[in-house]
DNA sequence: CTCTTTAGTGAGTGATTACTCACTCACATT
DNA sequence: AATGTGAGTGAGTAATCACTCACTAAAGAG
């Protein structure tokens, strides 16, 4: 039982590694088996089809997301909102999640890229992650709006814009870090938040 | 000769279609052949390896980009900057490129996906497209800065942020259009520009 | 100790893949 | 009319793929 759980975990971790390196289609089950140090047949005991490995990854990501992002950030939102202004709150939330984001980047990468080819992945992602993210975003945004800090901007577009800014930063850092000038990631995030909040703030 | 050029074109167009639908690895040369209405062997006369099809697509995208974006937008930048402010200029440039963007979305999709797996694609993209985009972005930004319209923000981060906002919008529209409320794309872009310019503007 | 169960194995399999090559045939050249 | 050329063909091939299954080993139950 303990051994079994361990094996399944090892297979999933290997799958995440290989999928994020090569993409779902280019990854082979034999390579995943080698990485997980199990026989190829063992994979199919736990995941009867290759695609179920992908589902396993998405489900694990949803789980991790639920643990680390939703609960935690909502708590902080409510707690910190009593003392600080929205800018500082947002900054605190994002900064707190930078390392988490980098740690789970392989998951993000796999989900983000395979979303376009697999409808089931897309639906899972949207229902379990995107909706929650949108909810949190709107919540924070509406809080600031109520206090008169923000202008009257569609909160969905605002939240999506910020995610896009952050996403592009991560992408550039991942793929073109050597070609572009290096800036400390915390400094960069401060700039992002600065641009974004100024963008939606009354002034 | 004319027939030959036609064949190569047809193969490339079929490849773009299939690659953007399934990704490079999941796409098969036989399917591309069927789509292009040539024998499978014909593909390998023009593109000896499957991967050269991918290169062909990237090169074609670079070509289209050079024709439609770089030259055109730089001209417009210089010309329009004499009368309008940066907000209007930016709006004009983006609006003008929306339909172009949607038309060439399969190219963008393929390049964006494969960039992470193929160093050669990455280098081509960076040298021929990203550098130009950064240059244009900086140019527009510095123009506004010189006039005292903008605050002192790293122009690279600013430009990248805007691209990220737009990119996320396109992504959401492509993959989650049915799940989210539909807003006219022109209105959305106005919001994006509004947030962005407010974000970098002095006030 | 025997029997049952169950996790793990890896050689084997049919299907599919990228790629080859001997071939065709509509032309142009002589 | 005879010959040469090269774009286009598609059956063929070796390699590789996801997936299967008869098996082993270990451990727990009786």
Q: Is any Cβ of chain B less than 8 angstroms from the Cβ of A106?
A: no
Ramachandran quadrant class, A74 (left: phi over 0; alpha: psi -120 to 50; beta: rest): alpha
Query: Does one domain contain both A121 and A62?
Result: yes
**Between A22, A157, A199, which is nearest B188 by CB?**
A157
Domain's final residue, options A48, A66, A81: A48
- Measured CA to CA, the distance from residue B196 to residue A198 in angstroms comes to 9
Query: Does one domain contain both B28 and B80?
Result: no
Q: Tell me the average pLDDT of chain A.
A: 87
What is the residue range of A192's domain? 54-200
- Nearest Cα neighbor of A89 from A105, A78, A104, A101 is A78
- Measured CA to CA, the distance from residue B168 to residue B161 in angstroms comes to 11
B5 touches strand D (CB under 7 A): no
Q: Is any Cβ of chain A less than 8 angstroms from the Cβ of B177?
A: no
pLDDT at B82: 67
Measured in whole angstroms, the distance separating CA B158 from the mean position of its chain's CA atoms is: 18
Spans of chain B, pLDDT less than 70 = 1-5, 74, 78, 80-83
pLDDT tens digits for A131-140?
888 888 888 8
pLDDT at A199: 92
Scanning A49-88 for CB atoms below 8 A from B yields none
Question: Which residue has tokens 């900057």?
Answer: B81
A46 touches strand D (CB under 7 A): no
Residues of A in contact with B164 (CB under 8 A): 161, 164-169
Helix (H, G, I), strand (E, B) or coil at B150: strand
Query: Does one domain contain both A113 and A184?
Result: yes
Query: Does one domain contain both A123 and A187?
Result: yes
Cβ of A180 within 8 Å of Cβ of B25? The answer is: no
Query: Does one domain contain both A181 and A89?
Result: yes
Query: Does one domain contain both A32 and A110?
Result: no
pLDDT tens digits for A96-106?
777 888 889 89
Measured in whole angstroms, the distance separating CA B184 from the mean position of its chain's CA atoms is: 20
Query: Does one domain contain both B106 and B156?
Result: yes
How many structural domains compose chain B? 2
Query: Does one domain contain both B26 and B111?
Result: no
Residues of A in contact with B125 (CB under 8 A): none
pLDDT tens digits for B127-163?
888 888 888 888 888 888 888 888 999 989 999 999 9
Spans of chain A, pLDDT less than 70 = 1-5, 81-83, 181
- Give the nearest nucleotide to A53, CA to C1': D18
Q: What CATH number should be reported for the domain holding residue B176? A: 1.10.357.10
Query: Does one domain contain both B179 and B106?
Result: yes
Query: Does one domain contain both A37 and A59?
Result: no
Compute the count of residue pairs across chains A and B with CB atoms less than 8 Å apart: 134
pLDDT at A81: 67
Share of chain A above pLDDT 70, in %: 94
Q: What CATH number should be reported for the domain holding residue A139? A: 1.10.357
pLDDT at A5: 54
Q: What CATH number should be reported for the domain holding residue B1? A: 1.10.10.60
- Measured CA to CA, the distance from residue B160 to residue A177 in angstroms comes to 13
Q: Is any Cβ of chain B less than 8 angstroms from the Cβ of A1?
A: no
Query: Does one domain contain both B168 and B88?
Result: yes
Query: Does one domain contain both A39 and A64?
Result: no
A27 touches strand D (CB under 7 A): yes
pLDDT at B50: 97
- Measured CA to CA, the distance from residue A156 to residue A154 in angstroms comes to 6
């Amino acid at each position: 039982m303990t051994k079994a759980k361990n094996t399944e975990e090892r297979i999933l971790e290997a799958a995440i590694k290989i999928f994020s390196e090569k993409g779902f289609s280019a990854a082979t089950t034999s390579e995943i088996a080698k990485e997980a140090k199990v026989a190829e047949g063992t994979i199919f005991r736990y995941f009867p089809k290759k695609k179920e490995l992908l589902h396993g990854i998405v489900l694990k990501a949803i789980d991790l997301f639920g643990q680390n992002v939703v609960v935690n950030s909502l708590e902080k939102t409510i707690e910190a909102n009593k003392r600080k202004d929205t800018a500082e709150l947002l900054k605190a939330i994002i900064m707190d999640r930078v390392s988490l984001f980098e740690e789970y980047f392989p998951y993000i990468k796999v989900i983000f890229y395979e979303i376009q080819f697999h409808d089931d992945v897309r639906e899972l992602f949207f229902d379990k992650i995107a909706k929650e993210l949108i909810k949190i975003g709107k919540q924070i945004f509406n809080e600031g709006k109520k206090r008169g800090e923000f202008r009257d901007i569609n909160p969905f577009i605002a939240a999506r814009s910020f995610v896009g800014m952050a996403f592009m930063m991560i992408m550039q850092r991942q793929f073109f870090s050597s070609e572009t000038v290096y800036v400390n990631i915390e400094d960069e995030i401060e700039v992002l938040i600065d641009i974004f909040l100024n963008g939606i703030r009354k002034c």
